Structure 1
């Protein structure tokens, strides 16, 4: 089995903190997800997460206007990454050494302005074409504010920029020294100035403060100042020649609320402001006419952004983990996504691997499309944390178990809870198993120590399996359908139940420690059990004997916590796996637990194959082996001190401490408690091409499918896009197609593909190397999908027919592994095409019948 799984995506978390930012084309939205950056394509309804991580959660995102693929992300401590999003390439690192409140590229993309305390630093943007030893070069440092700078806005020419600060003022600086120019100061606010904006003609400036005041500054030529010769004649210096004054004052009359974020679109001259009450207001400037006012939630809006065309408004709510894109003209949501409010406890894959379901401490069950990364359905029927979820092997049915004492069955066709299973006395369910036929469901309890078995058809309780003397932490049915049920418990035993026989024989096998979870091998001949002493034990279910054990305490040992009094090596004694899963072929076991690692073991050789680190986020406990002694003071670790540095940014409700002593999670947990890096559940996809981990950072998906966008193999100096186009124009279809595939340029691939002549398709496919079959199938599926708006339907179908006729055996042999994702894409494209053809046919049939009936009625009328 291959073990080269690479990070593919993050589901279950769409926004955490920082600012959201629209891409230059306005079709994509950048959203910080912890210490990673997610990209949401709002046109194609897909999302993906970049594989790069910062040291701490991302606090600021900046996009270059000149190069739409160049993005800068800065974490809470000022460490920055410069990323080429299209190539998924990390270009440079930078440490700004102070928390960055705002970062903005100049309009030409040559400079980058960042806040540095009460100063502003302007850096030269690194070149994306030349490899530099020191890519960031400081251009100038600007001073003048007396408190932290909060925002930076460039003028249209890029020669001036406007800054706002906590000192209740705004300043106008010039990028380079200009004869006679002095920085201008804008005062008049009574609270911190959050943002400042230029109008489209740059004759008006708008400033918005935290207390809800919006000042409109109008300018006129400053004739009293003697400027250098020729300086006044340059129209690009108009902003600097202007004498600014307050033309009008406007106020957002919202009681007991504060302005938390704002954005402005110069093209449409519309200002959008978000408040701490969850309300946002859209205004036409400079008249300050209210266009829309809508309450999104009861929590404050953390970030707001307007796309370049001014049609869509994006909102991010940190406390809810919610991301919204609203179209103000139609008053409808383009995107509305939200993760789990609390921790994610469990995950399960559907049989085709296209859908994953998660359950969390918030009592919600969410279905995620693994291809698009979007949540499609949310079930909120449970009233307590969801502990387990499972799909039925047959049919569109989902089961979930919860601490509220219920097991619920959901119909995934009608999206409703059609069956609720309960016990005679209230208990808390912590484990779940579904019989392969989907007719029987079992759940283990943590307080009654029994296993309950129900009929899915009738909803009646069939049996109560007693015998364990502690909480039943693991349940699993034999996947082969023999009716064998395996259970493990804290009573240090594994039991095998023959539940469908009259005798109901039970076989008990001892464990070395408390059993935490178990998993059946796909053929049903072996069971793997994880115990509290950090071991994985293997049992032969046919003969009921112990076949082997692996000591994994060192592999799963967690890192140092900030409040630990002992070293990491002394903490390994309490480390254990809490979730195990067999691979699709049964040769490997995937295991995860209360640590920052997920381990893959070879069952036959009893060795560790690979170990993945889930997160490099230093704000999580357990990500470091050693603590930084420089952070330790006489009062303790600095990270544990709640200094309330942003006390003025907190609302009154946020300042009130409603936590209960000793509570570590939930609504009344201590807010100063740091989350721990761990994986509560790991699962393999039935296709074997990916696996997922329900972790603190979200649902992390690792895949074998190629994620790289550039592969330098088989390249030489003569292989260029110009050479590929020339070969295509000369009629060398195969040479051009192979060149485009090697360059891995999607636009060039589509151009060469569409230029291939119809009668040459079978010849090109016949000579196509097998290594490019998956890529070509994906290309055909993308062009065949209605979203590509390609009119050559018969041409695409000819390609598919040739590919399946000439390479059908190769594709069929690996249809469940290598070609599974691309075959699903082909099937979806064909289904869309079929639906469109059927709709067109129905419309044409109805039109013809209408014309025929009208003609017949007219003939009858003339005859009469």
Structure 2
């Protein structure tokens, strides 16, 4: 089995903090999710996460006007310059301090960054192949050069806005002023200060004609500035000193709620739209300069952090960090383009659907979310549980999901109609922590940490069938054998019991272990059992004989990372680490194990060898990710990260502690320290090409198809993209297909594949070397069937492949099992779509046939033509009352 899994996508988190950025064409939205950046394709309804990551959470992002360069800066001022289309990191550098604003100039030659009360303008590195790069002679040795530094504000700068010609820019600061700066020294220009606000100025913008400036402050005051003479000046003889920027109009946002203030604002010059967001979740749209209100809507229960307007001004993007919400709103039609929200509490469990196209996650917030693996979006959220959901599992047959919760209930959800159709409860109030479903889907079992019994219900009737007694401690994990014969339970009494649920006697002999059992997992062939214990041991047992086959010590493998309060090094904390979750792969050759650590370990079952360690996160904003502590952050009072510096903030609202009991707003149990990195659940996809992990940062997806890899198999100097296209033009289709597979370029393979004529598909498949290219071609056709609209063309390829090489596939079932599953899934999806269209057409035909039938009577006059016809709705007199046939009387 291949083990070179790469990070593919991040689900479950759509926005953390920072600003949102649209691409130049307005079709994609870039959102910072922790220390990564996720790109949401709003037109094709897909999302992907860029592969690079920062060491701390991202604070600001900016995209070059041409759309090639992406600049991201984290909380500590470390910046990464990457190529947006190729998803490749180009350069790392540090700005030495936290950044509060970042924006490229419209010409693309510079970018301005606000660092505290200073503003720095840097030259943008050139990219190869662009006109700028040709003018400068290609790439520079030192790509980042600071062009100029501006100082004048007395407090932190919150916003920077360029003029359309890139000669001037505006800055807004907490010192109650906004300033106009010149990029280069201009003759007759002096830096201007716009003062008059009574609260911190949040943003300032130029109008489209550059003749007007708008400034907005935290208290909701909007000022319009124009270059006007003094009111006392003589209009007939105006001196140059009398003209200056003056306030021409004042407008105010009045909010009825107490303590509601403006948190963010955005202005679109070409359409004169002003969008403002407030601390109580309300946003407003005004048209300037008339300040007429267009729209007002409340989208969140918490404050809005950032607003972004698309280049054409039709879509508005809102981000709220308190609940992790991301919203794209089309204000003209008043409809949602995108509305996503992740879990705002810790993830507890996850599972794949049997088809592999859905991932289900559960959390402490009481919600169950269903994620689409193809698009990366949440398609449905179940909120029936009233407390944290601790476990979930799919029935192997049908689209039924079972969840266990701390509210004392086990629920069954129908994922076709998206509803809860059954609720299972125990005779007494229990907090269920584990669940297992019989492969037939007829019986569901649940265990609790409050009781030592295992409860079993009938799915059909919802009645409690039995309570299995025998454990002397809380039941921590349950698993049914895939063959349906046994139920395996693990407990804190250091035993694993194997129950024969459907037999007459339900006694079991315990398997004794050396520590508390945390997780049990059964191999897909129902012959082996993997058990994880509290002492970090991973043991494998024979399910039929009840004997231990092998074992391994994983304490050193899972250990790593230190908390701020740790007094021991990361290497010496190994004794406290263990695996909380274990799962087998589809073929049972490897297991994935993870726990309260930043590592996911992949082991070979037969040899017990550690094949690979995957690092979940390197984000230093989380606890437990750093290997070495910085002694400079240690003070006499303890680690600096644990000290409460809230009382030293500059603003009164930041100094106020709203987390105390009895306060008007806030959570009394609000977390003051950073969240700890942990992996409560891992799962392999049914195809074996990917696995997902529920972590503190979200739902991480690792895949074998994450990136384009160059595979130099059977490659020589004559195999190039140009020679492949030449062979295709010569109608040498098999040769072109083989050359494209050797180059392993997805675009080239797709081009050659779609260029093969329908009548030649059978010949190409017949002469294809099956042992070399059959697996690749099947995989490509399955992906094409999922993504392309050419239904019949893809099915003709599949029919030819299976008809010609079916016996070869049957002889090597183990080798091609995963590819065959992909083909089955693709065919099943096509079948479902075709059947849906056919059913719709059938209903339409039935409706048309059920309408009353009318006849039209045509009359011939002297053989010269038609004189007239019967009026619409008039019955033909020649038809009998019971005659259902339509009669036409007309020209012979």
The alpha carbon displacement at 1:632 in A equals 1.7
C-alpha spacing 1:501/1:550, structure 2 compared with 1 (3 Å)? same
Please tell me whether residue 208 in structure 1 is matched to residue 212 in structure 2: no
Whether the 8 Å CA contact 2:443–2:458 is kept in 1: the answer is yes
The alpha carbon displacement at 1:801 in A equals 5.2
The alpha carbon displacement at 1:780 in A equals 4.1
- 1:416-436 deviations in Å (ceiling 9; x for gaps): 111111111111111111111
Whether the 8 Å CA contact 2:679–2:695 is kept in 1: the answer is yes
Matched residue SS, 2:680: strand
- 1:450-487 deviations in Å (ceiling 9; x for gaps): 111111111111111112121100111111121x1111
C-alpha spacing 1:728/1:654, structure 2 compared with 1 (3 Å)? farther
The aligned residue for residue 888 of structure 2 is: none
Matched residue SS, 2:646: coil
The aligned residue for residue 70 of structure 2 is: 71
The aligned residue for residue 322 of structure 1 is: 325
The aligned residue for residue 600 of structure 2 is: 598
C-alpha spacing 1:145/1:690, structure 2 compared with 1 (3 Å)? same
The alpha carbon displacement at 1:198 in A equals 2.0
The match for 2:348 among 345, 349, 366 is: 345
Query: Counterparts of 1:803 and 1:523 in 2: how far apart (Å)?
Result: 29
The aligned residue for residue 107 of structure 1 is: 106
Please tell me whether residue 466 in structure 1 is matched to residue 479 in structure 2: no
The aligned residue for residue 235 of structure 1 is: none
The match for 2:171 among 163, 187, 194 is: 163
The aligned residue for residue 177 of structure 1 is: 185
Whether the 8 Å CA contact 1:780–1:799 is kept in 2: the answer is no
1:200-349 equivalences in 2 (<5 Å): 200-219=208-227, 243-255=244-256, 256-349=259-352
Query: Counterparts of 1:86 and 1:105 in 2: how far apart (Å)?
Result: 18
1:814-853 equivalences in 2 (<5 Å): 816-818=817-819, 820=821, 824=825, 828=829, 831-832=832-833, 835=836, 853=854
The alpha carbon displacement at 1:290 in A equals 0.8
The alpha carbon displacement at 1:114 in A equals 1.0
The alpha carbon displacement at 1:776 in A equals 4.6
C-alpha spacing 1:818/1:83, structure 2 compared with 1 (3 Å)? farther
C-alpha spacing 1:449/1:137, structure 2 compared with 1 (3 Å)? same
The aligned residue for residue 36 of structure 1 is: 36
The aligned residue for residue 236 of structure 1 is: none
The alpha carbon displacement at 1:574 in A equals 1.3
Query: Counterparts of 2:542 and 2:672 in 1: how far apart (Å)?
Result: 47
C-alpha spacing 1:653/1:28, structure 2 compared with 1 (3 Å)? farther
The alpha carbon displacement at 1:266 in A equals 2.0
Whether the 8 Å CA contact 2:646–2:654 is kept in 1: the answer is no
Whether the 8 Å CA contact 1:91–1:128 is kept in 2: the answer is no
Please tell me whether residue 448 in structure 1 is matched to residue 448 in structure 2: no
Q: Which runs of no fewer than 5 residues in structure 2 stay unpaired?
A: 129-137, 231-241, 858-871, 880-892
Query: Counterparts of 1:511 and 1:565 in 2: how far apart (Å)?
Result: 31
Query: Counterparts of 2:529 and 2:798 in 1: how far apart (Å)?
Result: 43
Matched residue SS, 1:384: coil
Query: Counterparts of 1:14 and 1:722 in 2: how far apart (Å)?
Result: 41
Query: Counterparts of 1:107 and 1:745 in 2: how far apart (Å)?
Result: 35
The alpha carbon displacement at 1:624 in A equals 1.2
Matched residue SS, 1:773: helix
The alpha carbon displacement at 1:78 in A equals 0.9
C-alpha spacing 1:220/1:747, structure 2 compared with 1 (3 Å)? farther
C-alpha spacing 1:453/1:295, structure 2 compared with 1 (3 Å)? same
Query: Counterparts of 2:410 and 2:385 in 1: how far apart (Å)?
Result: 9
Whether the 8 Å CA contact 2:199–2:217 is kept in 1: the answer is yes
Query: Counterparts of 1:472 and 1:771 in 2: how far apart (Å)?
Result: 44
The aligned residue for residue 193 of structure 1 is: 201
Query: Counterparts of 2:500 and 2:432 in 1: how far apart (Å)?
Result: 21
The aligned residue for residue 869 of structure 2 is: none
Task: Give the count of matched residue pairs.
Answer: 833
- 1:521-579 deviations in Å (ceiling 9; x for gaps): 11112211111111112221211122222111111114211011223233221111111
The alpha carbon displacement at 1:817 in A equals 2.0
Whether the 8 Å CA contact 1:87–1:709 is kept in 2: the answer is no
Matched residue SS, 1:170: strand
- 1:148-195 deviations in Å (ceiling 9; x for gaps): 111111111222221111112122222222233222222221111112
Please tell me whether residue 411 in structure 1 is matched to residue 414 in structure 2: yes
C-alpha spacing 1:820/1:170, structure 2 compared with 1 (3 Å)? farther
C-alpha spacing 1:548/1:414, structure 2 compared with 1 (3 Å)? same
Moved more, 725-734 or 305-314: 725-734
Query: Counterparts of 1:79 and 1:645 in 2: how far apart (Å)?
Result: 27
The alpha carbon displacement at 1:722 in A equals 8.2
The alpha carbon displacement at 1:839 in A equals 5.2
The alpha carbon displacement at 1:136 in A equals 1.3
The aligned residue for residue 679 of structure 2 is: 679
Whether the 8 Å CA contact 1:780–1:800 is kept in 2: the answer is no
Query: Counterparts of 1:774 and 1:834 in 2: how far apart (Å)?
Result: 24
The alpha carbon displacement at 1:641 in A equals 2.3
Moved more, 388-397 or 551-560: 551-560
1:540-689 equivalences in 2 (<5 Å): 540-644=542-646, 647=649, 651=653, 655-658=657-660, 668-689=668-689
Query: Counterparts of 2:453 and 2:708 in 1: how far apart (Å)?
Result: 49
Whether the 8 Å CA contact 1:783–1:796 is kept in 2: the answer is no
Please tell me whether residue 773 in structure 1 is matched to residue 772 in structure 2: no
C-alpha spacing 1:284/1:649, structure 2 compared with 1 (3 Å)? farther
Whether the 8 Å CA contact 2:455–2:464 is kept in 1: the answer is yes
Whether the 8 Å CA contact 2:7–2:706 is kept in 1: the answer is no
Matched residue SS, 2:818: coil
Whether the 8 Å CA contact 1:693–1:699 is kept in 2: the answer is yes
1:691-710 equivalences in 2 (<5 Å): 691-708=691-708
C-alpha spacing 1:809/1:220, structure 2 compared with 1 (3 Å)? farther
What TM-score results when the alignment is normalised by the length of structure 1? Answer: 0.89
Whether the 8 Å CA contact 2:350–2:694 is kept in 1: the answer is yes
Query: Counterparts of 2:507 and 2:670 in 1: how far apart (Å)?
Result: 48
Whether the 8 Å CA contact 2:8–2:706 is kept in 1: the answer is no
Whether the 8 Å CA contact 1:784–1:829 is kept in 2: the answer is no
What is the RMSD computed on CA atoms of the aligned residues?
3.3
Query: Counterparts of 1:122 and 1:743 in 2: how far apart (Å)?
Result: 43
Query: Counterparts of 1:44 and 1:630 in 2: how far apart (Å)?
Result: 49
The alpha carbon displacement at 1:784 in A equals 3.6
Whether the 8 Å CA contact 2:560–2:571 is kept in 1: the answer is no
1:88-167 equivalences in 2 (<5 Å): 88-129=87-128, 132-167=140-175
Matched residue SS, 1:453: strand
What TM-score results when the alignment is normalised by the length of structure 2? Answer: 0.86
